[in-house]
Amino acid sequence: MEVATHRTSDRTALHRPGFWQAGVLLSALVLALPVFTVFSFIFVPAGEVWSHLAETVLADYLSNSALLVLGVAFGVLLLGIPTAWVIAVYDFPGRRFFEWSLLLPLAIPAYIIAYTYTGLLDFAGPLQTGLRDSFGLEGGDYYFPEVRSLGGAVIMLSLVLYPYVFMMARSSFLGQSSSTLEAGRALGAGPLRIFLSIALPLARPAIVTGLSLALMETLADYGTVQYFGISTFTTGIFRTWFGLNDSAAAAQLAALLMSFVFILILMEHYSRRRQRFFQTGGRHHHPLHHPLRGWQRYAAFAICVTPLAFGFLIPAGQLLVWSLSIAEEAIDLSFLQLAGNSLLLASAAAIFTLILALFLGYGQRLHPSKPVAIAVRFSAMGYAIPGTVIAVGVMLPFAWFDNTLDEWMRGTFDLSTGLLLSGTVFALLFSYAVRFLAVSLQSVESGLSKITPNMDDAARSLGLAPGKVLRRIHLPMMRGALLTAMLLVFVDVLKELPATLILRPFNFNTLAVRAYELASDERLADSSIAALSIVVVGIVPVILLSRAIRKSGDTHE
């Protein structure tokens, strides 16, 4: 009886507001600071710079960003849906290989594929040079599409972002009831009619989710559009901040961009909310995998190999060729320092973000109240916000704090404190935590959900405090989920460009920044080793992702 009373009182204490609950709410508020900062500038009166932007370039930012989003939407749907359908439903030579390899373009950042194809397709590139040599042509004798254009940016982004639609659509197709599709076939509907009338409507919510992820990445892109000379919101924020030296106008541009991102988020949530109307009805789920014969096998193979070749094999192969040609001269002490900076920064960010995710995830487990749940979700929304916007939202409050403290110290003690937060590695780590917390938090919450709450109750009944329960019980059981969370954030930080460009300390470079700088100076071959290093590391989480999808697919077979 005493034990039962002790356990009941202990469980009551477990859910009483305390350190964990207050800590979660405070952490969420701090992590949301960049978002609040950017949005607060909506209410700042427009200055001369904003008026100048509105009169001259704001229309270009709006139109180019809108056209880019529309073009990429069409491109990722065109590449992602057919590949997902033929992989999920039909059997043909190479299907098993394409199941995982079609995700490989995710390992190549968009700005790297843009540099690579520019080197391949530009006037001095091997393709046009070969055409002129083979047919005896001069520069003005033929027409060749301009790579550095809005259309070129649409193609580059579509090639690396279509896997978002592919993996979401394929997962949905695999989960559809085979009896529903077979009923359509029994009624005389052909494969195309079944796809358009049954399978595609059922998969619409999942496709919209993948599409929204791809479009958020499109709006967040800086390296590709800047290199191609396209005026979008991300390039405009950079120019306003560094060229016009007006942080308020840059923040107002960032707030406008963030509004578009939130519209995409609302679209995605609305689509998921309607998912209950698209139930498949059948209890027996399995992929059909109808064998293809004759020309259909070659058509399915071509549908799958085309995006893989242009999205990964060709650019990765060209980077490898360039890297081998300059390896002896390029791999020196400065490159090793760049690699060291990148690895240390990515490792520190992965650990820092994992600690935050553990604190928030476990705090929500201890106190599953609505305010805590809302705070945790709000703190993780940074993943949907472009790195440029987060960098602006981090720099403004950090710079205000540094300037205020320095002014007070000068007036009180005649001592300058300098820049304690802005322009430091801590500012970078904080921006990475805001940007990529959702990635780590998702893995942590997945790991925690597999541990029964009875284990927490048993440990607490033995007198263990929440921190000790987390350290002694949960962490050992979640080792795989924690490692996955660290790895995903590590690779994301390694690829991140705009936030690093804005917030990095003086004379501090990473592989991503170096590849961007060399490519901007038209030294495309020289940028290849840094770019290839990022691609090789990026393959690791893609392999993990493909394995997870494969296991999910196996449950349907």
Strands 290-291 and 90-91: parallel
Q: Tell me the pTM.
A: 0.84
CB atoms within 10 A of CB 117: 22
pLDDT, position 181: 61
pLDDT, position 428: 92
Long-range contacts of 52-61 (CB under 8 A, 24+ apart): 53/236, 53/240, 53/249, 53/253, 57/231, 57/236, 58/236, 60/231, 61/231, 61/232, 61/233, 61/236, 61/253
pLDDT, position 480: 78
pLDDT, position 433: 93
pLDDT, position 422: 84
Domains and CATH numbers, the chain: 1-31+355-485 (1.10.3720.10), 46-324+509-557 (1.10.3720.10)
Using DSSP's 3-state secondary structure scheme, residue 450 falls into coil
Say which amino acid occupies 541: P
pLDDT, position 186: 57
What are 546's two structure tokens?
């493909």
pLDDT, position 10: 43
> Rounded to whole angstroms, how far apart are CA atoms 357 and 545?
20
Q: Are 93 and 302 in contact (CB under 8 A)?
A: no
Q: Which residues of 501-535 are buried (b: 16+ CB within 10 A; e: fewer)?
A: bbbbeeebbbbbbbbbebbeeeebbbbbbbbbbbb
pLDDT tens string for the chain (557 positions)?
Answer: 444 444 444 444 434 446 778 888 898 889 988 888 888 887 777 788 888 888 899 999 999 999 999 999 999 999 999 999 899 888 889 998 998 899 999 889 999 999 999 999 888 888 888 888 888 777 777 788 889 999 999 999 999 999 999 988 888 887 765 656 665 565 556 666 777 666 778 788 888 888 988 998 899 899 999 999 999 999 999 899 888 888 888 888 988 888 888 887 777 667 666 554 444 444 444 555 778 888 889 999 999 999 999 999 999 999 999 998 887 776 778 888 888 999 999 999 999 999 999 999 888 888 888 888 888 888 887 877 888 889 989 998 998 998 899 888 888 888 888 778 888 899 999 999 999 988 888 888 878 877 877 777 777 777 777 777 888 787 888 887 788 788 888 888 988 888 898 888 888 889 999 999 888 888 888 888 989 999 988 888 887 777 766 665 554 44
